[in-house]
Amino acid sequence: MTQVDTAETGQEGAGRRDTGFAARRARIRRAVRIATRPGPWKRGPVLAALALLLGLLMLLHPQITDRGGLGSLVETFLPWFGLFIPVLLAGALWRRSASAVVALLLPVMVWLSLFGGLLSDKSHPRSDLTVASHNVDADNPDPAGTARDLAASGADVLALEEITPQAKPLYEKGLAKEYPYHTVLGTVGLWSKLPLSDTQPIDIVDYGPLADTKPGDKKVAANRALRTTVATDHGPLTMYVAHLGSVRVNPKSGFWTASRDIGVQALGKAIAADPSKRMVLLGDLNGTMDDRAFNGITSQMHSAQEAAGNGFGFTWPAHFPVVRIDQILVHGVEPTSSWVLPATGSDHLPVAAGISW
């Protein structure tokens, strides 16, 4: 009996020794892992590199080659690069990477320097004149309804783009009561509560059969820009209305902007040669003012949205706007407010601005 008890006691002692050894070994392994684990400054090197790359991409975007339209494509969607910041921040917090968090300061500061000013409301309540612009869409299913909506906007001067011969009488009828003066040349027109004079077409390019005309409107007139003068209480105001060529994204040719860029150059030259002291450009320019292609225009005029708006003012596509390609630019007058009007039957949203002398 005594021998059995001794044997059992020896087995229990051996088990306890084995358990203690296993526990010590586990503690040693944990200590080794802790000792060899990268510190917070060494974790997430890939995330830190991506954050720095994002910041440099936004900072040095003017240096990106425009071969295949790459530079213009990046600049068109430049504000949206900011969405990568919270994604990278979530990854940095998950990895507990101090280096990635610090690296994110670069894209944050760059994005804020580029677009932070758009986040505040810079509008003022008083203005001398309200102008509006709308690409009414050649495929608009309800031109008459669009005309009613625009007539109720309160704008003193209203520019329309992409007017088809079929829809032109509907716009003229729907806007006649509010706007006694109007002029239409080709696919663009201007309706005004104030007298117009000296209207002339602007040759931004001879499109012939328009490359970007929709299939159902192959006979749309080629003229897509005009210049006219509005008689205001403060003196003459030169108004330009333009609908520049469309852009295309093609897997083979890249971001195709050839027709638009030709129009930008021609329009920029017309504005530069204009002796008027006060000018307003309204229209669908098929590009954002961050796009380097518009430097010839933005060096002479400034955006009403950037100067007096609230937010980015995206206008296209109407159901989920991601870019602002419908613009109001001014020279010699000051924008006091800028906003986007409610959707109509078009695939673009109308834009409006108050201006002051």
pLDDT at 218 over 60: no
Share of the chain above pLDDT 90, in %: 76
Cis-peptide into 317, omega within 30 deg: yes
The per-residue pLDDT for range 281-336, each reduced to its tens digit, is: 999 999 999 999 999 999 999 999 999 999 999 999 999 999 999 999 999 999 99
Give the lowest-confidence range in 2-11, 19-28, 262-271, 301-310.
Answer: 2-11
Q: What three-state secondary structure class fits 267? A: helix
Measured distance CA(70)–CA(186) in Å, rounded: 32
The stretch 221-226 carries a mean pLDDT of 82
pLDDT at 25: 72
pLDDT at 215: 39
The ranges of the chain annotated as CATH 3.60.10.10 are: 123-356
Contacts of 56 (CB under 8 A, 6+ apart): 106
- CATH number for the region 123-356 comes to 3.60.10.10
Burial per residue of 140-164, b for 16 or more beta-carbon CB atoms within 10 angstroms, e otherwise: beebeebbebbbebebbbbbbbbbb
Beta strands per DSSP E along the chain: 129-135, 157-161, 181-185, 188-192, 196-201, 225-232, 235-243, 248-250, 254-256, 279-284, 302-303, 326-331, 334-340, 351-356
The per-residue pLDDT for range 58-92, each reduced to its tens digit, is: 999 999 999 888 999 999 999 999 999 999 999 99
Measured distance CA(353)–CA(329) in Å, rounded: 10
Measured distance CA(327)–CA(338) in Å, rounded: 10
pLDDT at 22: 73
pLDDT at 138 over 90: yes
The stretch 251-267 carries a mean pLDDT of 88
Structure token digits, residue 53: 């790359």
Bridge partners (DSSP) listed for residue 280: 239, 330
pLDDT at 250: 77
pLDDT at 27: 72
pLDDT at 113 over 80: yes
Q: How confident is the model at residue 102 (pLDDT cuts 50, 70, 90)?
A: very high
pLDDT at 37: 57
99 close to 42: Cβ distance less than 8 angstroms? yes
pLDDT at 213: 45
The per-residue pLDDT for range 13-67, each reduced to its tens digit, is: 555 666 666 777 777 667 656 554 567 777 889 999 999 999 999 999 999 999 8
Higher pLDDT, 186 or 125: 186
Q: What is the mean pLDDT of the chain?
A: 89
Higher pLDDT, 224 or 19: 224
Higher pLDDT, 145 or 9: 145
